[in-house]
């Protein structure tokens, strides 16, 4: 998917929900966000970024499939630095706009390709410092999300009001509670019109469906220290975390068909 295709898809969605979308012309001498979005007296500056499959990885897979029938790949579902860099670049573009001080600032991420789900989850984990945790003594319990257990891009880039993730099938709006406009944003037309897609950590925690270490001044590089802090707050002996991976299997159908052709028997 090209950048132009991603921007066109984003524009169509926003216009469908009643927003006016103005494309901001690119200039060589200064950086700008992609679009200015308006509804009533609300202004949203939106920079669209996309993340697809690594072309080098796909080339390696294609080469490997020349010599085998099937290969499998795993991608850890954890924050990745390349996605943090994308957010930093997007914010720089948004803040270069002359109306940035009076606007909501949104980064719209289009993820596509084989690993779109993995990239969407890694982005979510990165912006929230999110990890799945569990009480080691609660053998029947389920894992819960814990916000700000690791480094949070939202805490680092507090001027971003929200990150929108579009994966071709679903849309998610990740709200930044560190933004100075947090209360205004959750009551904005943008949040209201996409209400079912909004993820607000404060609501998530208040509903009892997640934990939060917001405000913890410990070393976020030390996950063990964060887990011990969480256990202390919850009054339990020990909390643990578990990283997951997403797996994909890729098959060379030509080789499968060639090998099986000689084994076909007539009825």
pLDDT score for 15: 97
The structure tokens 């098959």 sit at 251
pLDDT score for 252: 47
Whether 265 is in a domain gets the answer no
Distance CA 215, CA 228 (A): 15
Q: What DSSP state is assigned to residue 24?
A: P
pLDDT score for 29: 76
* Domain tally, the chain: 1
Q: Where are the beta strands (DSSP E) in 178-220?
A: 198-199, 210-212
- Residue span of the structural domain in which 23 resides: 3-256
Whether 41 is in a domain gets the answer yes
Whether 220 is in a domain gets the answer yes
pLDDT score for 28: 76
Distances from the Cα of 138 to the Cα of 143, 196, 227, 233, 237, angstroms: 10, 31, 15, 16, 10
* Residues in Cβ contact with 84 at an 8 Å cutoff, skipping those fewer than 6 apart: 126, 153, 156
Task: Measure the CA angle with vertex 240, ends 234 and 246; round to 5°.
Answer: 130
pLDDT score for 245: 46
Whether 198 is in a domain gets the answer yes
Q: Which residues does residue 104 pair with via DSSP β-bridges, in sequence order?
A: 44
Whether 263 is in a domain gets the answer no
pLDDT score for 54: 56
pLDDT score for 68: 62
Dihedral of alpha carbons 16, 21, 26, 30, sign? negative
The closest of 166, 123, 161 to 12, measured between CA atoms, is: 166
Phi, psi for residue 46 in degrees, rounded to 5: -125, 125
pLDDT score for 248: 38
Whether 261 is in a domain gets the answer no
* Residues in Cβ contact with 221 at an 8 Å cutoff, skipping those fewer than 6 apart: 151
Q: Could you tell me the two tokens for 22? A: 């103005």
Q: Could you tell me the two tokens for 119? A: 């990239």
pLDDT score for 263: 54
Distance CA 194, CA 175 (A): 12
pLDDT score for 30: 81
Report the SS3 class of residue 142: coil
Residue ranges in the chain whose pLDDT is less than 50: 65, 69, 71-72, 74-77, 79, 245-253, 255-256, 264-267
Whether 47 is in a domain gets the answer yes
Whether 137 is in a domain gets the answer yes
Distance CA 151, CA 176 (A): 14
């Amino acid at each position: 998917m090209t950048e132009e295709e991603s921007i066109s898809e984003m524009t169509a969605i926003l216009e469908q929900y009643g927003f006016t979308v103005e494309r901001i012309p690119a200039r060589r001498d200064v950086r700008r966000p992609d679009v200015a979005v308006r509804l009533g007296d609300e202004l949203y500056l939106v920079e669209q970024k996309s993340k697809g499959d690594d072309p080098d990885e796909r080339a390696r897979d294609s080469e490997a499939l020349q010599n085998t029938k099937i290969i499998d790949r795993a991608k850890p579902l954890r924050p990745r630095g390349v996605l943090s860099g994308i957010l930093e670049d997007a914010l720089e573009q948004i803040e270069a706009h002359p109306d940035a001080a009076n606007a909501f600032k949104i980064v719209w991420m289009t993820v596509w390709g084989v690993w779109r789900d993995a990239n969407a989850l890694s982005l979510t984990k990165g912006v929230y410092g999110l990890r799945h945790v569990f009480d080691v003594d609660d053998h029947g319990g389920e894992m819960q999300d814990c916000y700000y257990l690791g480094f949070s891009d939202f805490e680092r880039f507090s001027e971003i009001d929200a990150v929108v993730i579009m994966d071709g099938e679903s849309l998610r709006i990740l709200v930044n509670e560190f933004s100075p406009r947090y209360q205004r944003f959750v009551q904005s037309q943008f949040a209201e019109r996409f209400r079912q897609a909004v993820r607000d950590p404060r609501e998530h925690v208040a509903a009892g469906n997640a934990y939060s270490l917001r405000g913890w001044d410990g070393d976020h590089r030390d996950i063990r220290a964060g887990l011990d802090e969480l256990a202390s707050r919850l009054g339990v002996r020990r909390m643990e975390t578990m990283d997951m991976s997403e797996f994909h299997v890729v098959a060379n159908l030509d080789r499968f068909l060639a090998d099986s052709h000689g084994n076909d028997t007539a009825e």
